[in-house]
Structure 1
Amino acid sequence: MRSRWFHIPKFHTIQSNMEKRVGWLELFYDLIFVASFIQLGNTLSEYVSIERFFGFIALFTPIWIVWYGFTHFANRFDVDDFLHRSIVYCQMFAVGAMAVTVPQALRGEHQLFAYAYAGAQFCIFLMYLRCRFHQKEGRETTTHWALVWLAGTLLWLISAWLPTPYAYGAWVLGLLLVIGSPLRRSVRAFEMRYPVDLEHLSERYGLMTIIVLGESFVKMLGGLVANEPSLPALAHASFALIVTCALWWIYFDDIADSRLRRFPFAYPLWLFGHLPLHCGTIAVGVGLQKVIYFDLWAPGDPKYRWLLCGALALVFFATALVESVTERKNAVLSDQLRVYVRLLFGFLMVVLPAAAATMPSLWFLVLLAGACLIQVGFDMMTAPFDERNLLKHHGGEHPPAPAPKPGRTVGSGHSVSRGAPSNLRQDLFTYFMQASWIALFITIAVFFFLLNVLFAALYLMVPDTIANARPDSFADAFYFSVQTMSTIGYGTLTPTSDYGHIIATIEAGVSWICVALVTGLIFAKASRPRHAVLFSEPILLTRHNSQPVLMFRVGNARGNDIIDASLNLTVLIDEVTDEGNHLRAVKDLKLTRSSTPFFSMTWLVIHPVDEDSPLFGLGPDQIAARVSAFCAVIVGHDGTYSQSVYARHTYYPEDVKADHTFVDVLSSLDDGRVVVDYHRFHQTQPVKGSPPE
């Protein structure tokens, strides 16, 4: 037991035996930041302008840095006594004072805010100073961070006595001192020797993300309460809910459970990449509050459009930054694609406000919600499986692989890859070659629409770019983009300036590339040979020419020539080695005829169950107990496609049927042609002399 009045702080790393969880004090500590963020959001909401937005970012940054400082300390040290709690409470009062003095700081009265922030930094300095004297392990990093926070305290104290321009310069130096410290080689070397507990940090950063997303709900509900309930108000609320839920989805599916990549600056970029992400999320909440006042059938206020789109762009760019240094655990596509998608939508958010100058607010909101939902759909496409259900851990070890179940094809390509390196995962070409035609066409349509929206927005960035178009008409700009991208060129709408010609040239180049890629993909997918090989549903354990055999039937339902076809049959059977080890062996089954020069009708595949067969002496009950599956693979050259084709099928023990033979499916017409009756392809009949069922 340790004293609640005073105990020695314990240095914590990922190598520690104790699992570190978010404590009650940390959760209570975060409450003061809820109030601070609400106050910051209110100050931005009162008067929206470019100057106020940058002022909002400038004041959010030091508040977030204080939270980071305490979070980093709590990750490194385990301490919870009277002295530590007292210091934390003092820091909470300082953060509260920062929140209260935000309006004065935005008006240029920076002294009180500087004093409050200096006090918050000094509390972090005291935490590290105490650990510096009482804990020898990790003293190197303790000394470093104590000096960093002390220097930051002094800079902010000095800034309170400086005139406004110079005071802000001292603020920047103080913040860069903290942000730049993890980039130092000595700090990174220490982090490699004593790794931080990233699981604890991920949980803390996830909780902070929940807090800033909650700010969006607070702003939205505040705006709804200020207005009388109506159908448009509910539409606005639905839009806000979609955007907020999509942001939650993007973060907690793509970032929260991801691993850090192994390169020197991954950790600091992950840490401070959350700063613009959290800042932008709060600004999104303010923007969602403002769009409630939009008339759905008229263009919205430009400054509110720019606020919402700019905040979303900041979130998407920050998400791209964080995702560039992480690897998703259960993705089937390369992680780099996530970064490209975030950058694409971030850039779209930058140009969309100008394009929405004459656009009804309803369509503007639909585009924003659609941009968020498309990213959710992309997330589902890149990671269609939930890793928590893929593998359960028991005592830190992997459980044994379950036996194949009926309906699941062994080795059929339906396996789930887990932990594959990002550069070895599927690319988009492989993904769409295996995907359905519907998925491919939906993706092409969505991408085509987004590209035209993007270029329409670029045309509208400069007025009077398109001749004969209605002034500031997004529809005309969109249709002109479609004509340019598809090279239709009716001649009515044309560029009128150098800017318009430059954008049209860029769009033409992008169009050539996209058309070539899509054409090649569709052609490759359409021309890919597909077999029409049919396997009999049962596999028979019977007698043939008075000899026990295992047999099944295959047929070429298309009836074309498959030349030089060969078939291989294997069995997955349980065995015990001489050392007593239990294993599942894969053994080849010898066939009476394993190849045929032409395969256009049916083929009766027979395996003699003799002394050399792994199935020798096994009846249906023994096969059910020891055999996992029979795998049949047929390969041949398709005369129609002039390419090799293959087919694969798996039989399970429950597919084995004893003492039966197949019904004859071949007959002849009067003109000599052979008829294959596939209605009877799977039918069997008892062998003569076999006991009745």
Structure 2
Amino acid sequence: MTASHGKRVGFLELFFDLVFVFAVTQLVGVLHADQGAAGWGRSALLLWLVWWAWSQFAWTGNAIDLDRRPVRLVVLAASLAMLAAAVALPQAFGDDAAAFAVPYAAVRLAGLALYWIGLAHDAAHRAALRTYLPVALVGPALVLVGGLAGEGARPWWWLAAVAVDLASVATAGRGEFRVDAGHFAERHGLVMIIALGESVVAMGLTAEEAGLTARVTWVLVAAFAVVAGFWWTYFDWVAAAAEARLAGEADHRRRGNLARDLYTLGHLPIVAGIVVFVVAVEEALLHPAEPLHGLGVTALAVGPVLFLAGFVAGNRRAAGTWLWPRIAGVAGVAVVALAVGPSADPVVPLGLLAVVIAAVAVAESSRHRSLAATAA
């Protein structure tokens, strides 16, 4: 990270983030349980909702003081509500959807309330928030209505909530939000670390369940190499360069819009890529002597592609350049997953994926047409 910090991420924020990442990892089970196109669509919809709740608190924590005791209590209560929503998440499209929707809506509303109340003495920032709140309040209301609606209507209510969420940030783009670049970047970097760590935990538990045979061990080693590559391609330069670019934008409105595009929207596919890759690894660990098929092959392709491609659009938005090594890596991942995945033991495509991602890391570190060079 660069030295642009006005304040640091607090332990309370990290506590909330741990609960959020648990909610995200619940989606792995959702995909295993429903492997068809509908399952992928439902998982994507739930990921958006969970990510949006976390993002809302990321913006709130960036803008207000969370150290006051009443605020702490609200954040802890929101963490409990997020835990309840996470536990109920696998049944969100079942008969007990309200068990997810009610605590979820409470989290969203708590975040918005803290945001508004915490800016009582910041008239300029509150003026920007005033353009966002009326639309933002509709999203959790639609999620709540969908949770109480029938199973057939529920996806449409929740898709409407997603549309409203997008409309809310488009509306907010006209306001001058005060963004602490260092804190915002650090918060997203730390949630990335937690997500990567949870992926390692999930892989380890699945390997233990499968039994540590030689095949399982090699699959685990190859999968860990891919996750280590994920870490490298993000923290080697992306994290610091993105923060520097955000800190270098002096205009409040433009900085707020950049934070929205580069982090709130741009990091969603990166987190999604981690989750989806874990699905592929679990399939490989449970069937280490069989080529991947169906869900395993799809997840093997989609996960790393989302992770690598997630920052391509963000870099284009922030620096005006294309990350060609990363784009080539996306093509390489697709070839390996779709051509080799269905025809070889899982350790082979996983090992090749690790090589592809390592090649991306090496190529990017030697190039200067990147956000890092622009920020410098």
Q: Does 1:365 align with 2:350?
A: yes
Query: What are the equivalent positions in structure 2 for 1:533-548 lying under 5 Å apart?
Result: none
Give the secondary structure class of the aligned counterpart of 2:6.
Answer: coil
Query: What does residue range 443-522 of structure 1 map to in structure 2 within 5 Å?
Result: none
From 221, 227, 235, the equivalent of 1:252 is: 235
SS class of match (1:127) = helix
Partner of 1:224: 207
Q: Which residue identity lines up with residue 82 of structure 1 in the other structure?
A: R
Match status 1:316 vs 2:308: yes
Question: Do 1:260 and 1:267's aligned partners in 2 also have CA atoms closer than 8 Å?
Answer: no
Alpha-carbon RMSD across the aligned residues, in angstroms, is 3.0
Matching residue of 1:207: 190
1:292 match: secondary structure:
helix
Q: Does the 8 Å CA contact 2:266/2:314 hold for their aligned counterparts?
A: yes
Q: Secondary structure at the match of 1:325?
A: helix
Aligned to 1:234: 217
Q: Would you tell me which structure has more strand in proportion to its own residues?
A: 1
Q: Distance in 1 between matches of 2:347 and 2:133?
A: 53
Work out the CA distance in 2 between the residues paired with 1:370 and 1:218: 22
Residue in 1 aligned with 2:325? 341
- 8 Å CA contact 1:128–1:143 kept in 2: the answer is no
After superposition, what is the alpha-carbon deviation per residue over 1:583-614, rounded to whole angstroms, capped at 9, x for unaligned? xxxxxxxxxxxxxxxxxxxxxxxxxxxxxxxx
Q: Please state whether the residue corresponding to 1:164 is helix, strand or coil.
A: coil
Alignment of 1:286 onto 2:279: yes
For 2:33 and 2:148, how far apart are their aligned partners in 1? Answer: 29
- Percent of aligned positions with the same letter in both sequences? 24
After TM superposition, the structure 1 = structure 2 runs for residues 130-145 of structure 1, keeping only pairs within 5 Å, are 130-131=117-118, 133=120, 135-145=122-132
CA distance in 2, matches of 1:106, 1:280: 22
Residue equivalent to 2:113: 126
Give the Cα separation in 2 of the matches to 1:354 and 1:31.
33
Q: Which string of whole-angstrom CA distances, capped at 9 and with x for unpartnered residues, describes residues 247-287 of structure 1?
A: 00111123211143879654322121111211221221222
Change (3 A) 1:365 1:421: closer
Q: Which runs of 5+ in 1 are unaligned?
A: 1-16, 328-334, 384-417, 426-693
Q: Which blocks of at least 5 consecutive residues in structure 2 are unaligned?
A: none
Rg larger for = 1
The alpha carbon displacement at 1:46 in A equals: 4.6
What secondary structure does 1:21 align onto?
coil
Deviations 1:527-583 (A, max 9, x none): xxxxxxxxxxxxxxxxxxxxxxxxxxxxxxxxxxxxxxxxxxxxxxxxxxxxxxxxx
Q: 1:54 aligns with which of 41, 49, 52?
A: 41
Which residue identity is paired with 1:341? P
The match for 1:89 among 73, 76, 82 is 76
Aligned residue pair count? 361
| Distance in 2 separating the partners of 1:101 and 1:121 | 16
Match of 1:76 among 22, 41, 63: 63
Structure 1 counterpart of 2:64, one-letter code? F
Residues 607-647 of structure 1, C-alpha deviations (whole Å, 9 max, x = no match)? xxxxxxxxxxxxxxxxxxxxxxxxxxxxxxxxxxxxxxxxx
Whole-Å separation in 2 of the counterparts to 1:249 and 1:217 = 15
Measured after TM superposition, the shift of residue 134 of structure 1 is 5.3
Alpha-carbon distance between aligned partners in 2 of 1:378 and 1:337, rounded to the nearest angstrom? 14
Structure 2 contact 23–83 (Cα < 8 Å) conserved: yes
Secondary structure at the aligned position of 2:137 is classed as helix
What is the deviation of 1:368? 1.4
**Residue of structure 2 in register with 1:613 after alignment:** none
Q: 1: distance between equivalents of 2:175 and 2:200?
A: 40
Letter in 1 for 2:128: T
Structure 1 residue 109: Cα displacement: 4.5
C-alpha offsets along residues 306-348 of structure 1, whole Å, 9 cap, x if unaligned?
Answer: 1121111121221212222345xxxxxxx8352x222333244
Residues 152 and 175, structure 1, Cα contact 8 Å, conserved in 2: yes
Say which SS state the counterpart of residue 102 (structure 1) adopts: helix
Look up the equivalent residue of 1:76 and give its one-letter code.
Answer: A
User: Structure 1 residue 180: deviation in Å?
Assistant: 3.3
The SS at the match of 1:138 is helix
The SS at the match of 1:260 is: helix
More helix by share: 2
| Residue 104 (structure 2) aligns with | 117
1:43 aligns with 2:30: yes
* Local SS of the residue matching 2:101: helix
Mark the CA change 1:231 to 1:127 in structure 2 (over 3 Å): closer, same or farther: same
**1:293–1:347 CA distance, 2 compared to 1 (3 A):** same
Once the two structures are TM-superposed, the CA of residue 419 in structure 1 deviates from its matched residue by 8.0
Distance 1:124 1:149, change over 3 A: farther
SS of corresponding position for 2:298: helix
Matched, 1:196 2:196: no
Query: SS at the partner of 1:20?
Result: coil
Q: Is the 8 A contact 1:290 1:304 kept in 2?
A: yes
1:23 corresponds to which residue?
Answer: 10
Change in CA separation of 1:421 and 1:353 when aligned onto 2, cut-off 3 Å:
closer
Q: 2:201 is aligned with what amino acid? A: V
Question: Secondary structure of the equivalent of 1:78?
Answer: coil
- Is this contact kept in 2: 1:125–1:145, CA < 8 A? no
Q: Is the 8 A contact 1:222 1:289 kept in 2?
A: no
TM-score when scaled to structure 1? 0.48
Deviation at 1:362, TM superposition (A): 4.0
Name the CA shift for 1:107/1:308 in 2 (closer, same or farther; >3 Å).
Answer: farther
Q: Deviations over 1:53-99 (max 9, x none)?
A: 33222112111111100110111122422221222122112211211
Is contact 1:122-1:150 (8 Å) kept?
yes
| Cα separation, 1, equivalents of 2:194 and 2:49 | 17
The ranges of structure 1 where at least 4 consecutive aligned residues each deviate by more than 4 angstroms after the TM superposition are: 132-135, 261-265, 418-422
Q: Is the 2:305–2:333 contact (alpha carbons within 8 Å) kept by the matching residues of 1? A: yes
Aligned-partner SS, 1:163: coil
Pairwise CA distance, 1:202 = 0.6
Cα separation, partners in 2 of 1:24 and 1:381, compared to 1, 3 Å = same
* 8 Å contact kept, 1:273–1:322: yes
CA contact (8 A) 1:260 1:325 kept: no
- Note closer, same or farther for the CA distance 1:135–1:266 as it changes in structure 2 (3 Å cut): closer
- 1:155-178 deviation digits (Å, cap 9, x = unpaired): 223323433343322222323323
In 1, Cα distance between the equivalents of 2:225 and 2:360?
A: 12
Structure showing greater relative contact order (alpha-carbon pairs closer than 8 Å, 6 or more residues apart):
2
The one-letter code matched in structure 1 to 2:277 is V
- CA-CA distance at 1:42 after TM superposition: 3.0
Q: Is the 8 A contact 1:345 1:371 kept in 2?
A: yes
Is 1:307 matched with 2:299?
Answer: yes
1:162 aligns with 2:149: yes
Q: CA–CA distance in 1 between the matches of 2:21 and 2:347?
A: 31
Q: Is the 1:132–1:142 contact (alpha carbons within 8 Å) kept by the matching residues of 2?
A: no
